Amino acid sequence: MTNFKRVLIATVMGIVSGLICTGLASTGGPLSFPLFMNIFTGRVLIGFIIGISALRIHWAINGPLMGLIVGIPAAFGGMMADVEGFTPASMFMSTLVMGIIYGFLIEFVTSVVFKAKQKKL
């Protein structure tokens, strides 16, 4: 059984994370629409997946794990982006690492700050 408060908070945090991440990524110039959508939807999906996650593991492991799992496909998409100063391998790794970091932050805000824990079955 999912906790609606948890799903809502985590998804909203995913949206906020997506906006922050795309804002930071666009400091070197405007992002192409596909790259913008790859970054934004990846962060929103991380938040939603964290919200519905039923894994009974500590929040500090759950968030980064969900960020890693969701970040893998996004990292492959990031390899196709033509960003000055980044090789495809560095785009892959930076997308993956940032997914893990944002997963941790989303889970931290959801579980610790708002105390929206997963309901016990």
Q: Give pLDDT tens digits for 69-107.
A: 999 998 998 888 777 788 999 989 999 999 999 999 999
The token pair at 111 is: 């579980």
The token pair at 118 is: 């997963």
- Write down the domain spans for the chain: 4-113
Q: Report angle CA 34, 36, 39 to the nearest 5 degrees.
A: 105
Residue in 108, 13, 120 with CA at minimum distance from that of residue 62 = 108
- Residue 121's pLDDT band (boundaries 50, 70, 90)? low
Q: Give pLDDT tens digits for 56-71.
A: 899 999 999 999 999 9
* Higher-pLDDT residue of 83, 4: 4
* Higher-pLDDT residue of 27, 103: 103
